[in-house]
Structure formats: structure tokens, C-alpha cells
Chains A and B, each alone.
Chain A
Amino acid sequence: AQSVTQLDSQVPVFEEAPVELRCNYSSSVSVYLFWYVQYPNQGLQLLLKYLSGSTLVKGINGFEAEFNKSQTSFHLRKPSVHISDTAEYFCAVSDGAGNTGKLIFGQGTTLQVKP
């Protein structure tokens, strides 16, 4: 079964600093990866996804992620964060077993942006 590991449970960072949220996945023949953001008391919103092609994926709100097959990683980055980026971030992989395309999520990383 596929799995996802988010390496940091909390990431504190000052406003306008760069940030990287780390995600590793278990190896598979083909892999489809997603990053979602969850603001307090809300559902999940898709930031970006990797399906194929360019390994650098750009998403909404200035976020980007790089797919690295050799390191089985899909780290999320933003060059300059804002207070409004404070939220929970989830990395997920689409599971091929059972033909549901169900998402398998990591435990989440809390991004705390300080003024």
C-alpha cells in the first residue's frame, strides 16, 4: 500500500521568509501527488498536483512543488510567505488499488507565519 510521510508537524516562519514543507511518498510504478491546504474550520482546498510532465509544478497563491522520483519526495515551497498562509498543509498520493483513486494523506504540517 502506498503511504505519505510529512516530515515536519509544525513549521514556524516569519512573514516574507521562504518556506519548504517536506513530503515523502512510498515508491510506486506511477504516482500522482497532491498538496491541499486547510484553513481553520474549513475543508480542503487544492494547491497543486503532479500527474506527469514537468517535475516543477506551480499552484495557487504562489506555491510550487518539485517532484523528485529518485528521492521519492514532493516538497512544497513558497519564496515569501504571508500571514494569511497560516494553515494546515496536507500532502496526498492517489492510490491505484481498488480503482477508487482514493487519496492517502500525510499527517499534515502546520505552517505558522509570524509577523
Chain B
Amino acid sequence: ETGVTQSPTHLIKTRGQQVTLRCSSQSGHNTVSWYQQALGQGPQFIFQYYREEENGRGNFPPRFSGLQFPNYSSELNVNALELDDSALYLCASSLGRGSRTDTQYFGPGTRLTVL
């Protein structure tokens, strides 16, 4: 069974640029959630996708957007990068749509640095 994978591992961008981060779900999982973890903080929920549709969103501006594909892999896009966007971006997959009891399985994350 393949776990959650993310690419790239590290990324350096400059302010104002755009970035795309990718995530492959664990086999059989149809829900993907994205979290932002700033240095020294706990992860914060960005949004969730279920079967290619957005299923909920946290307190992040519209320049954070996402996609989920038919194979349930996912992308996180961030436009007009700001210095505060520097963080570890975590993807998590789960089996049920928004089920509170489902376990979310996390990938290793993408470390984004904005200069």
C-alpha cells in the first residue's frame, strides 16, 4: 500500500511569484486536505477536496486555490507569493467525505521558502 507522497520536497520562490505543490493520495482514499505549518506552529487547515470538488475551506485568501483530479491526486496553487507564505505544506488523505472519525494520513510535506 502506497502512502501519501508530495512533490517537490523543497522549493524556493521570490515574492510575487506563483507556485504549484502536488500530492498523491494513499491508495483508495478519495478525500484530500491541505494544511499550512508555519515554523514552530501547529498545522492550519487550508481546504479539502472530495471527489474533485472543494468540500470546505479554512481562513485563507483566494490566492490559495486547489484542484483534485479523477485519480484523487491534488494540487495546491498559491499566487502572488508573500513572505509569510514560507511554511511546510502538508497534504493529508482520508477515506470518508468530511467524516470526523476518519484518520487523516499525512505526507512528508513540501517546504516552501519565499524570499
Contacts and interface: CB of A to CB of B under 8 A. Distances in A.
Contacts of B104: 101, 103
A21 B92 CA distance: 24
Nearest to A103: B104
Contacts of B99: 101
Interface stretch (A42-50, A62-70, A73-81): A42-50
A108 B41 contact: yes
Given A100-B98, A101-B102, A90 B42 contact: yes
Given A90-B43, A96-B100, A102 B58 contact: yes
B109 interface: yes
Contacts of B58: 102
16 contacts: A30-B100, A42-B109, A43-B4, A43-B109, A46-B105, A92-B42, A96-B100, A99-B98, A100-B48, A101-B102, A102-B58, A103-B35, A105-B43, A107-B41, A108-B41, A108-B42
B55 interface: yes
Interface of B: 4, 6, 33, 35, 40-45, 48, 55-56, 58, 90, 92, 94, 96-109
Contacts of A106: 42
A87 interface: no
A11 B68 CA distance: 39
10 closest A-B pairs by beta carbon, nearest first, are A105-B42, A100-B56, A94-B100, A44-B106, A102-B45, A99-B98, A43-B106, A101-B100, A43-B108, A100-B98
A32 B92 CA distance: 17
